[in-house]
Copies of this chain bind each other. A is one copy, B any other.
Amino acid sequence: MDVSQEQVSMTRHPNLLQHLNKRKATDMPVPYQQTFRLDIEKTLRALYVVGTVLKVNLNRSAPPTSKYFSVQCSPRVQYRITPPPLESGTLPTSLNGNTMLLITMDTASEVGNDSKLSVMYYGEKTEVLGKAVVHLTAVEISLDVDADRDGQVERNNPNKGSWMWGPNGHGAILLVNCDSEHTYGKRRDSDICEMSDLKDMSPMVLRTSGPAKLPEGYKLTMHISQGDAESVRVFRTRSTAENLLYKSFVKDYPLVLGSEDLSKEVPYLGGNAEMNFYVEGLRFPDKDFEGLISISLSLLEPSSPGFPETPIFTDRVVFRVAPWIMTPNTLNPVEVFVCSTSDNYQFLKGMRRLVENSGYKLKVCHEYMNRGDRWMQVSSEIQLLGPDFGYVTRTAYNVEVSSLDSFGNLEVSPPVIVNGKIYPLGRIIIGVAFPTATKGRNMTKVVQDFLWAQKVQEPIALFSDWLLVGHVDEFMTFVPAPDKKGFRLLLASPDAGYKLFRGLQNDGHGQAKMFDGLEEEEITVDEILSDDKLRAENNYVQSCIDWNRDVLKRELGLDDDDIIDLPILFHVMEENRAVAYYPDMVNMIVLGKNLGIPKPFGPKVDGRCALEAEMTSLMEGLGLCCTYIDDFASYHKLLGEVHCGSNVRREPFSFKWWNLEM
Q: Which residues of B contact A37 (CB under 8 A)?
A: 495, 542-543, 546
The residue that A30 contacts in the complex, of B23, B30, B62, B419, with Cβ under 8 A, is: B419
Flag whether A85 is at the interface (Cβ < 8 A).
no
Flag whether A659 is at the interface (Cβ < 8 A).
no
| A434 & B311 in contact (Cβ 8 Å cutoff) | yes
| A263 & B225 in contact (Cβ 8 Å cutoff) | no
Q: Which residue of chain B lies nearest to A445 when distances are taken between CB atoms in the complex?
A: B226
Known contacts A57-B560, A263-B435; is A308 also within 8 Å of B576 by CB?
yes
| A314 & B543 in contact (Cβ 8 Å cutoff) | no
Flag whether A216 is at the interface (Cβ < 8 A).
no
Flag whether A442 is at the interface (Cβ < 8 A).
yes
| A33 & B226 in contact (Cβ 8 Å cutoff) | no
| A540 & B304 in contact (Cβ 8 Å cutoff) | yes
| A543 & B303 in contact (Cβ 8 Å cutoff) | yes
Q: Report which residue of A33, A307, A536 has the largest number of chain B beta carbons within 10 angstroms of its beta carbon.
A: A307
Flag whether A650 is at the interface (Cβ < 8 A).
no
Q: Which residues of B contact A64 (CB under 8 A)?
A: 499, 502-503, 505-507
| A307 & B536 in contact (Cβ 8 Å cutoff) | yes
Instruction: Pick the interface stretch among A68-76, A181-189, A357-365, A549-557.
Output: A549-557
Q: 1/0 per residue A466-510: CB within 8 Å of B?
A: 100000000000000000000000000101100100110111000
| A35 & B546 in contact (Cβ 8 Å cutoff) | yes
Q: Which residues of B contact A311 (CB under 8 A)?
A: 434-436, 547
| A263 & B502 in contact (Cβ 8 Å cutoff) | no
| A303 & B539 in contact (Cβ 8 Å cutoff) | yes
**Chain B's nearest CB lies how many Å from the CB of A437?**
7
Query: What's the number of copies of this chain in the assembled complex?
Result: 2
Flag whether A175 is at the interface (Cβ < 8 A).
no
Kindly identify, within residues 435 to 458 of chain A, every residue whose CB is under 8 Å from any CB belonging to chain B.
Answer: 435-438, 442, 445, 448-449
**Chain B's nearest CB lies how many Å from the CB of A21?**
11
**Chain B's nearest CB lies how many Å from the CB of A394?**
14
Q: Which residues of B contact A539 (CB under 8 A)?
A: 303-304
**Chain B's nearest CB lies how many Å from the CB of A417?**
10
Kindly state the separation between the CA atoms of A434 and B263 in the bound complex, as whole angstroms.
Answer: 10
Flag whether A55 is at the interface (Cβ < 8 A).
yes
Q: Which residues of B contact A227 (CB under 8 A)?
A: 445, 448-449
Q: Report which residue of A35, A61, A420, A503 has the largest number of chain B beta carbons within 10 angstroms of its beta carbon.
A: A35
Kindly state the separation between the CA atoms of A540 and B572 in the bound complex, as whole angstroms.
Answer: 78
Q: Which residues of B contact A554 (CB under 8 A)?
A: 30, 32-33
Known contacts A437-B263, A536-B307; is A60 also within 8 Å of B495 by CB?
yes
| B496 & A60 in contact (Cβ 8 Å cutoff) | yes
A-B contact sample (9 more), CB < 8 A, given A27-B419, A287-B288, A307-B572:
A35-B549, A60-B499, A62-B499, A64-B503, A65-B506, A98-B560, A225-B435, A263-B438, A308-B540
Residues of A within 8 A of B (CB): 23, 27, 30, 32-35, 37, 55, 57, 59-65, 98, 100, 221, 223, 225-227, 262-263, 287-288, 296, 298, 300-301, 303-304, 306-312, 314, 419-420, 434-438, 442, 445, 448-449, 466, 493, 495-496, 499, 502-503, 505-507, 536-537, 539-540, 542-544, 546-547, 549-550, 553-554, 560-561, 565, 572, 576
A-B contact pairs, 10 of them (CB 8 A): A30-B554, A37-B495, A57-B560, A100-B560, A288-B288, A303-B539, A303-B540, A306-B536, A307-B576, A308-B437
